[in-house]
A and B are shown apart, each in its own frame.
Chain A
Amino acid sequence: MSDILKLTAVEARKALDSKAISATELTNAYIGAMDETRGLNAYVAETQSKALEMAAASDKRLAEGKAGPLEGIPVGVKDLFCTKGVETTACSNILKGFTPTYESFVTNQLWDAGGVMLGKINCDEFAMGSANETSAFGPAINPWSSEDGPDLAAGGSSGGSAASVSSGSSLIATGTDTGGSIRQPAALCGIVGMKPTYGRCSRWGIVAFASSLDQAGPFTRDVADSALMLEAMAGHDKMDSTSADVAMPDLQAAMQAGVKGLKIGIPSEYVMDGMDPAILKLWEQGQSWLKDAGAELVEISLPHTKYALPCYYIIAPAEASSNLARYDGVRYGSRVDEGGSLDEMYAATRSAGFGDEVKRRIMIGTYALSAGYYDAYYLKAQQVRQLIKTDFDNAFTQVDAILTPATPSAAFELGVKQDDPVTMYLNDVFTVPANLAGIPGISVPAGLSEAGLPLGLQVLAGSFREDRIYQVAKTLEEAAAFQLNPVRAAGGLR
């Protein structure tokens, strides 16, 4: 089959069921694409032989009629997920050489559903970044970068996942989203990225960044694949005290339901200085599409929106400063021992092992929690977080879903925002509020910038109302008819 890379996961499943293709054939096509797109630096560890073994097992199950919902589907795994027997580094030097003896809950769910693991995928170090530039393996590159132009950011932190799905080196990929790390790179790479409700996907076995915000989710090429992958990833896990025991709504039905009669909130606060005019235009376009499909647009206010980012930049680093204390060179990972004391070993190990952005956030977090500053920073941030959540609670008494832009700009050139951390942080301005409130959000590719780069729209819904998300996302996708054709994608996808 010549267009094998063009199949969506849903289509590939049908082709596998009808024996039009085999899982091994599909996996080989992706191994070829991985090879072809290696320049994008999407993968940090390729596990081709494991992939082929898993594909062979999938073929056997397909033949026996025991196929799972993701049977034979090639999956890329963000390097934040612990994978049994496969090095897991969170793209940090401090975890170089760490090979987990266990498999994360979410990836385990994917393999149980029949998924085939292609390898581990690049991301920002400990998921801290918005351009995949803090990775110890170097940045992943946006496949939409022109052939001869500068390399563009794939976004972050899950930049490798977005670059990979968008360039055809994986069919679907996992991501984690703490402040927009799924939705922002998905938007920048022209694919669908979904952050589920906090508690929907177990955090067990995922290297923690900020525990109260981290949530795993799918990267896919379209909305239907997103629903398919999310259904496989999600589930209650007794090993994660924050995992929710709440049934997933029927997402397949939701995608059929349309938006007729739905009330869609348009928050007046989601306009900021220096925003790409193309994004404002796309947002208005999105509103028209939904209105045309029968939805009612409601202007709403989320008054504390502008405080979400500073609030996030207290809470996330504070939690991270504590979560990353375990990387001390004692039980796993790298150690730098210059023959000094234990404390000197800690400091040498951590200074050599962590990159600048991670150290910066550990320092901010340590400071925010330290004696005399806790109330002014951490407690204050938690109070503001309450107000942000209340804004959404109030909004969802009036509307069924909220439509916003996904990012303030299209993909930017790598390296340009590195000088000022705050400028980089502003990338997450539209995505961070959902993490603080714990609500689900999706980024759907909906148009192009003047430079021909993808732009996304974000749909938010109330907690555990992923059905609303997929209702709206499907409608937007149909109306936008976005074409995924990045210049630097694998040949088979173009």
Chain B
Amino acid sequence: MSVDKSTVKKIAKLARIAVSDEETDTIASELNHILNWIEELNEVDTDGVAPLASVTGHNLPLRQDAVTDGDKVDQILANAPEQASGFFVVPKVVE
């Protein structure tokens, strides 16, 4: 598998990272270099091996259904780059 310029643009868009045309080539070759190295993994026979998502031995802990949080608008908005009337403010979203 090799990453071409259009793939770089596609993943950059998915990741919301702006990439200029000049950067695309560099990034593509860097990613290919890393991915080629990663392809060593194909040497490993993983037939029938269960994927490991978490090393934790316990089950998901459950919390009681009780309101224990919230009511802290000041804290929630304390670091907002832009806010008004208790809302976060962003450039207009057109649907």
Q: Do chains A and B touch in the complex (CB under 8 A)?
A: yes
Using a CB–CB cutoff of 8 Å, the interface residues on chain A facing chain B are 97-99, 101-102, 198-199, 212, 238, 241-242, 244-245, 304, 306-307, 310-311, 313-314, 321, 328-335, 337, 339-348, 350-351, 354, 359-360, 362-364, 366-367, 370, 373, 376-377, 379-387, 389, 420-422, 436-438, 463
CA distance A453 to B45 in the complex (A): 40
Main secondary structure on B side of the interface with A: loop
Given contacts A244-B58, A310-B38, A345-B91, contact A383 B78 (CB under 8 A): no
CA distance A343 to B17 in the complex (A): 10
Given contacts A99-B78, A198-B56, A310-B41, contact A330 B50 (CB under 8 A): no
Per-residue interface assignment for chain B, residues 52 to 93, with 1 indicating a CB less than 8 Å from any chain A CB and 0 otherwise = 111111101101000000001001101111100000101111
A334/B11 in contact, CB under 8 A: no
Contact of A321 among B1, B15, B34 (CB under 8 A): B15
CA distance A310 to B40 in the complex (A): 7
Residues of chain B within 8 A of A344, CB atoms compared: 91
Residues of chain B within 8 A of A385, CB atoms compared: 51-52
Per-residue interface assignment for chain B, residues 10 to 34, with 1 indicating a CB less than 8 Å from any chain A CB and 0 otherwise = 1110111111000000010011011
Residues of chain A within 8 A of B7, CB atoms compared: 367
- 28 of the cross-chain contacts (CB-CB < 8 Å) are A101-B78, A198-B56, A242-B54, A244-B57, A310-B38, A310-B39, A314-B41, A329-B81, A331-B88, A335-B82, A340-B91, A341-B93, A341-B94, A342-B91, A347-B17, A348-B18, A351-B18, A359-B17, A360-B27, A363-B15, A364-B34, A366-B11, A381-B41, A383-B51, A386-B49, A387-B46, A422-B33, A422-B37
Who on chain B is nearest to A367 by CB?
B11
A244/B16 in contact, CB under 8 A: no
Residues of chain A within 8 A of B34, CB atoms compared: 313, 360, 364, 421-422
Who on chain A is nearest to B94 by CB?
A341
10 additional contacts (CB under 8 A) given A306-B40, A367-B3: A242-B54, A304-B44, A330-B88, A337-B91, A342-B92, A362-B15, A363-B8, A382-B53, A383-B50, A386-B52
Residues of chain B within 8 A of A377, CB atoms compared: 38
A384/B41 in contact, CB under 8 A: yes
A438/B90 in contact, CB under 8 A: no
A386/B50 in contact, CB under 8 A: yes
Who on chain A is nearest to B75 by CB?
A101
Main secondary structure on A side of the interface with B: helix
Residues of chain B within 8 A of A463, CB atoms compared: 55, 57
Given contacts A360-B30, A387-B44, contact A330 B17 (CB under 8 A): no
Tally A-B pairs: CB < 8 A: 162
CA distance A426 to B72 in the complex (A): 45
Using a CB–CB cutoff of 8 Å, the interface residues on chain B facing chain A are 1, 3, 7-8, 10-12, 14-19, 27, 30-31, 33-35, 37-44, 46, 49-58, 60-61, 63, 72, 75-76, 78-82, 88, 90-94
In the assembled complex, how far is the CB of residue B55 from the closest CB belonging to chain A, in whole angstroms?
3
CA distance A346 to B12 in the complex (A): 12
B58/A351 in contact, CB under 8 A: no
Residues of chain B within 8 A of A341, CB atoms compared: 91-94
B57/A238 in contact, CB under 8 A: no
A332/B31 in contact, CB under 8 A: no
Who on chain B is nearest to A311 by CB?
B41
CA distance A335 to B38 in the complex (A): 34
In the assembled complex, how far is the CB of residue A15 from the closest CB belonging to chain B, in whole angstroms?
40
Residues of chain B within 8 A of A346, CB atoms compared: 16
Residues of chain A within 8 A of B94, CB atoms compared: 341
Residues of chain B within 8 A of A99, CB atoms compared: 78-79
